[in-house]
Amino acid sequence: MNAHVERLRQLVTPPEGVARRADWEDVIGELGVGLPSDYRDLMYTFGGGRVDGYLWVLEPRCSNRHYELLRSLAERDEAFEMLWEDGEAKPAQLESPGARVIPWASTDNGEYLYWLVESGSPPDEWTVMVNEARGDWWEHFDVGCVELLGQLLSGEVRSEILSSSFPLPVHEFRASGSF
């Protein structure tokens, strides 16, 4: 198991009997790129769900369409295409040829956490970008998704974009299937 997923298990208890394995080959085929191994381990250990009543970890093939990874990607791609064509500032990290973002988490407030996918970079080297709900403010974290989640929950790092009430003092994880 990935060391960052194991650390996350120490910070928050995974739900019992709800984590599942996605058909990664189908998901990767639809995405057109691989996915980081820490995220695949996260799905196996926790599945998709809500962390501390605020942050939703997106899941491939999630029964709740609002938290389904591939659907969220299509929605965000369409939204960014319109926003950037209308002149909203694009983050500098996305100006490189072939660079894109893929959402892996969202919040009830409308913020999204993305993998920054740069041309030629393998999935296990993807870092994380956070975008405010209704604007062009972005933060970049030079770590993978599960490492960042652990750092946020432990208080090692703070996001200026995410809610000041996140994380909670006592962490909780509720699986998407329980909603």
Give the C-alpha separation, 64 to 84, whole Å. 28
How many C-beta neighbours within 10 Å does residue 141 have? 18
Contact 161, 141 (CB under 8 A): no
CATH number at residue 24: 3.40.1580.10
Kindly tell me if the per-residue pLDDT of 63 is higher than 90.
no
- Give the angle subtended at the CA of 32 by the CAs of 39 and 80, to the nearest 5°: 85
C-alpha dihedral sign at 137, 143, 145, 146: negative
Question: In the structure, what pLDDT confidence band is assigned to residue 43 with cuts at 50, 70 and 90?
Answer: very high
C-alpha dihedral sign at 46, 172, 117, 144: negative
Q: Which tens digit of pLDDT belongs to each residue from 16-29? A: 876 566 688 888 89
Give the model's pLDDT for residue 18.
Answer: 63
Q: Domain range for residue 84?
A: 3-178
pTM exceeds 0.75 for this model = yes
94: left (phi over 0), alpha (psi -120 to 50) or beta: alpha
Tally of structural domains, the chain: 1
Least confident of 19-23, 120-124, 139-143, 158-162: 19-23
Contact 148, 141 (CB under 8 A): yes
Kindly tell me if the per-residue pLDDT of 122 is higher than 70.
yes
Contact 141, 4 (CB under 8 A): no
Give the model's pLDDT for residue 9.
Answer: 95
Average pLDDT over residues 104-131: 96
Angle between helices 145-154 and 37-45 (to 10 degrees): 60
